[in-house]
Amino acid sequence: MLSRARGAAGRVTRTNRPLHVSFLIAGVQKGGTTALDDYLREHPGVRMCTPKEAHFFDDESIDWRGPPYGRFHSMFEPAADGVLRGEATPIYLYWPESLERVRRYRPDMRLILLFRDPVERAWSHWKMETDRGWEREPFAWCVREGRARVADAFAPPGAHRVFSYVERGFYGAQLERALGLFGRDQLLLLRSEDLKREPEDVLDRVTAFLGLPPFPEPPRRRELNVAAEASAPPEADADHLAAVYRDDLTRFAKLSGLDVSGWPTVLRGRG
């Protein structure tokens, strides 16, 4: 870690010893990770990555037999002792092998996971990729026949990053995998709607989880960077996905302990 030493004149100096990243905002995409990252940049006890998403542990070009951790650390500005470094790459929860790589890097890593209704998340994801020009197919096709684009290991390069509208919403399976790698006390599970409605309460939970003092001043309220707040998926598609997610959401509710009974997808699934 960055340490301090007293010079001849009594000045405090810093030595450039390697720093480790202490926590990750590891999911989910379109769940408010950008807003949480932005909030944490205001806390004096935190240094977040530049850019926001390092995409280190999901980088398949790396030889993971000898990972270049120095490259990862270079994305952070120097910080004094006691300052925690964190980054937010929401694909980590979903991407195969990412969490295994995180564990090898730091077995005591703390993970913050934001969860949003999976159908709303899928719709917002599809809207984002459509606006970017990566997606040209209608939502109805994407969540049915279009799932074949990411159905196996032979999917085209980048397909899992862009077209995984449905697959990223299987929170139960993803959380079960995370709990198999990290202790439960290393995971902070949050609902994205709480960050939107009650950010001060959520930020108090985050700082307590990280062992930090509360924010010295209430941070400016952020708008969650989620697409299509003024629109919703077609009813037929929402019903279809509610059936797809029904069993996994039951597992997720049991594993997470989060109250998701008010999520539209859960309510549809019960109907």
The token pair at 187 is: 């995971």
Residue-wise pLDDT tens digits, 46-96 = 999 999 999 999 999 999 999 999 999 999 988 888 899 999 999 999 999
Delineate the domains of the chain, giving CATH numbers in brackets.
14-270 (3.40.50.300)
Residue 271 CA, distance from chain mean position: 30
Residue-wise pLDDT tens digits, 172-204 = 999 999 999 999 999 999 999 999 999 999 999
Residue 270, classed as helix, strand or coil, is helix
Query: Once rounded to an integer, what is the mean pLDDT over residues 149-160?
Result: 80
Show Cβ contacts of residue 226 under 8 Å, excluding neighbours closer than 6 positions: 30, 31, 32, 116, 124, 192
- Banded model confidence at residue 151, pLDDT cuts 50, 70, 90: confident
Residue-wise pLDDT tens digits, 199-227 = 999 999 999 999 999 999 888 888 775 54
Query: Once rounded to an integer, what is the mean pLDDT over residues 145-151?
Result: 94
CA distance 75 to 56: 10
Convert 177-216 to b/e letters by CB count within 10 Å (16 or more is b): ebeebbeeebbbbbbbbebbeebeebbeebbebbebeebe
pTM reported for the whole predicted model: 0.90
Q: What is the DSSP string of 101-158?
A: HHHHH-TT-EEEEEE--HHHHHHHHHHHHHHHTS--S-HHHHTTGGGGGGSSTTPPTT
Residue-wise pLDDT tens digits, 88-124 = 999 999 999 999 999 999 999 999 999 999 999 999 9
Give the CA distances from residue 188 to residues 24, 81, 131, 193, 216, in Å, rounded to whole numbers and listed in that order.
Answer: 10, 24, 32, 15, 22
Does residue 243 have a pLDDT over 90? yes
